[in-house]
């Protein structure tokens, strides 16, 4: 009890010292003496388990509240950089975190998913309290990963896809990948979860999206026939489908492509089809506003400037440190939360994926099956013409 009191007094003294040395006070003279009117400290909270020190203080009437925000350096000098200041009129809450983000959070499947309880795990990262955040894509359908060059988008996509591949069997999850830069998704070639060829050419984008659209139709019909409202309620389980597109802005400029994407974002959530998109510059030219409105989960990595950050509602993303730091709004949290993304290198991914690739034998069989299907298709076309010819005769 006494120990706690003394600790609080000591903590109070430290803050008062900061006010003094940063001249965060008003003065008045009486006679020869100058008196200081310091801010009043209303509350000091020490949470040892969370390693969190909280102060609530208010500044004297007449002192500009902006001064406190401007003098953030003052608190940093006294308490270190790992702090937060919130303002409500002339009242401030100052939080000082003992734990800081690790410089790197190594991607670790077990650690990232151990407390996950939903259906599709999206490992996000670690917060300043050391808590791992892993959200459910079913609850937060469609994900946008935005950020400037080198901010960590591809690394995050890598960590998410690696987690999903390890979490689901190929019967439970299908990945449909589009990568116009031809660099990010090459590693996933011949992975069992990747059902269609990875699209790397503009001309192949529309046919793939058309196929997804057909699948949406098929699923909707199934649900209609069984009278259910969500894909998970069907008698025969359908795999989740994730359509991942690296750099949406590099897709061909085509109204129909935009429409397909909007369509997936509208209907996919009930049908088990979800988008994961990455985007360098989130301005309105690069992403349809209807599509943007349907992406319920956004990760804002370091943005080029304030405008780019605010377009996707990630105010402050322009000030992030880079190297996998990002902002995100998380269910049950009021504000945007800053997180450190896990790190998985390309080499690490390659090593991991070895266990999930098709064997040469399986690839050969698939190629043969494709050829048979093509020949069958050609034959049936010929038949139709044959019938037509007969009719003419
Ligand atoms: N989570 C992370 N932890 C630590 N370092 C990271 C993390 N993410 C990215 N980095 C560092 O930043 C570099 C660039 O990351 P990445 O390639 O993911 O960026 P990007 O946003 O995809 O860039 P581009 O727009 O050029 O494709 C990485 O090579 C790595 O050094
Ligand atoms: Mg990238």
Give a yes or no: residue 377 inside a domain.
no
- Is the pLDDT at 18 greater than 70, yes or no? yes
- Is the pLDDT at 255 greater than 80, yes or no? yes
Ligand 1 in contact with 344 (CB < 6 A)? no
Ligand 1 in contact with 324 (CB < 6 A)? yes
Question: Is 241:174 a contact under the CB 8 Å cutoff?
Answer: yes
Which residue minimizes the CA distance to atom 9 of ligand 1? 152
Which segments within 215-261 are labelled E, that is strand?
240-246
Mean pLDDT calculated for residue range 123-152: 92
CA atoms within 13 A on the CB side of 257: 18
**Do 139 and 187 fall into the same domain?**
yes
Give a yes or no: residue 144 inside a domain.
yes
- Residue 99 or residue 56, greater confidence: 56
- Is the pLDDT at 293 greater than 60, yes or no? yes
**Do 164 and 242 fall into the same domain?**
yes
**Do 163 and 280 fall into the same domain?**
yes
**Do 162 and 261 fall into the same domain?**
yes
Q: What confidence tens digit (pLDDT) does each residue in 199-239 have?
A: 999 999 999 999 999 999 999 999 999 999 989 899 999 99
Q: Which of 273-282, 287-296, 367-376 has the lowest mean pLDDT?
A: 367-376
Indicate the residue among 44, 65, 97 that finishes a domain: 97
Ligand 1 in contact with 104 (CB < 6 A)? yes
**Do 125 and 271 fall into the same domain?**
yes
Contact residues for 252 (Cβ-Cβ < 8 A; gap 6+): 202, 203, 205, 206
Ligand 1 in contact with 155 (CB < 6 A)? yes
Q: Among 284, 256, 291, 251, which Cα is nearest to 144's?
A: 291
Would you state the pLDDT for residue 380? Answer: 73
**Do 129 and 193 fall into the same domain?**
yes
Give a yes or no: residue 242 inside a domain.
yes
CATH code of residue 345? 3.40.50.300
Give a yes or no: residue 367 inside a domain.
no
State the ligand closest to the CA atom of 246: 2
**Do 124 and 7 fall into the same domain?**
no
Query: Inter-axis angle of helices 2-21 and 72-79, to 10 degrees?
Result: 140
Ligand 1 in contact with 343 (CB < 6 A)? yes
Ligand 1 in contact with 341 (CB < 6 A)? yes
What mean pLDDT value characterizes the chain?
90
Q: How far is the CA of 152 from the centre of ligand 1 (A)?
A: 3
Ligand 1 in contact with 89 (CB < 6 A)? no
Which residue minimizes the CA distance to atom 25 of ligand 1? 149
**Do 271 and 319 fall into the same domain?**
yes
Rounded CA gap, 98 and 79, in Å?
9
- Is the pLDDT at 136 greater than 80, yes or no? yes
**Do 112 and 89 fall into the same domain?**
no
* Residues with C-beta atoms within 5 A of ion ligand 2: 154
Which residue minimizes the CA distance to atom 23 of ligand 1? 150
CATH code of residue 25? 3.30.1360
By most ligand atoms within 8 Å of CB, the mutation choice from 155, 162, 248 for ligand 1 is 155
Query: Inter-axis angle of helices 346-353 and 153-167, to 10 degrees?
Result: 20
Total structural domains within the chain: 2
**Do 62 and 112 fall into the same domain?**
no
**Do 110 and 80 fall into the same domain?**
no
Give a yes or no: residue 375 inside a domain.
no
Rounded CA gap, 18 and 27, in Å?
16
Indicate the residue among 76, 97, 118 that finishes a domain: 97
Q: Which domain holds residue 111?
A: 105-359
Give a yes or no: residue 174 inside a domain.
yes
Give a yes or no: residue 379 inside a domain.
no
**Do 152 and 88 fall into the same domain?**
no
Q: How far is the CA of 154 from the centre of ligand 2 (A)?
A: 4
Indicate the residue among 36, 68, 97 that finishes a domain: 97
């Amino acid at each position: 009890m006494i120990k706690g009191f003394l600790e609080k007094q000591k903590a109070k003294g430290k803050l008062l010292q900061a006010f003094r040395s940063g001249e965060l006070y008003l003065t008045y003279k009486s006679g020869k003496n100058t008196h200081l009117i310091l801010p009043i400290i209303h509350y000091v909270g020490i949470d040892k388990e969370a390693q969190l020190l909280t102060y609530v203080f208010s500044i004297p009437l007449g002192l500009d509240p902006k001064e406190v925000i401007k003098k953030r350096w003052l608190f940093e000098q006294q308490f270190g950089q790992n702090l937060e200041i919130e303002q409500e009129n002339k009242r401030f809450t100052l939080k000082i975190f003992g734990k800081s983000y690790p410089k790197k959070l190594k991607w670790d499947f077990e650690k990232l998913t151990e407390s996950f309880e939903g259906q599709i795990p999206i490992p996000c990262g670690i917060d300043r309290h050391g808590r791992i955040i892993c959200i459910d894509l079913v609850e937060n359908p469609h994900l946008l990963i935005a950020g400037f060059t080198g901010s960590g988008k591809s690394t995050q996509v890598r960590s998410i896809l690696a987690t999903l591949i390890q979490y689901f069997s190929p019967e439970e999850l299908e990945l449909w990948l589009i990568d116009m830069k031809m660099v990010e998704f090459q590693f996933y070639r011949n992975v069992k979860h990747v059902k269609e060829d990875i699209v790397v050419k503009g001309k192949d984008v529309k046919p793939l999206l058309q196929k997804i659209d057909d699948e949406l139709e098929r699923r909707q019909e199934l649900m209609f026939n069984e009278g259910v409202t969500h894909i998970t309620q069907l008698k025969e389980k359908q795999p989740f489908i994730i359509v991942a597109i690296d750099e949406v802005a590099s897709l061909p400029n085509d109204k129909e492509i935009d429409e397909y994407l909007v369509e997936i974002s509208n209907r996919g959530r009930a049908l088990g089809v979800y988008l994961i998109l990455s985007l360098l510059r989130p301005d309105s030219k690069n992403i349809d506003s209807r599509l943007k409105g349907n992406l319920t989960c956004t990760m804002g990595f370091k943005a080029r400037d304030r405008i780019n950050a605010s377009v996707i509602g990630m105010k402050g993303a322009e000030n992030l440190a880079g190297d996998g730091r990002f902002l995100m709004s998380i269910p049950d949290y009021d504000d945007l939360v800053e997180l450190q993304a896990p790190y998985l290198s390309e080499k690490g991914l390659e090593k991991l994926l070895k266990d999930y690739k098709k064997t040469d034998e399986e690839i050969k069989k698939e190629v043969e099956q494709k050829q048979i299907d093509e020949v069958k298709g050609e034959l049936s076309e010929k038949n139709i013409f044959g019938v037509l010819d007969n009719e003419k005769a």
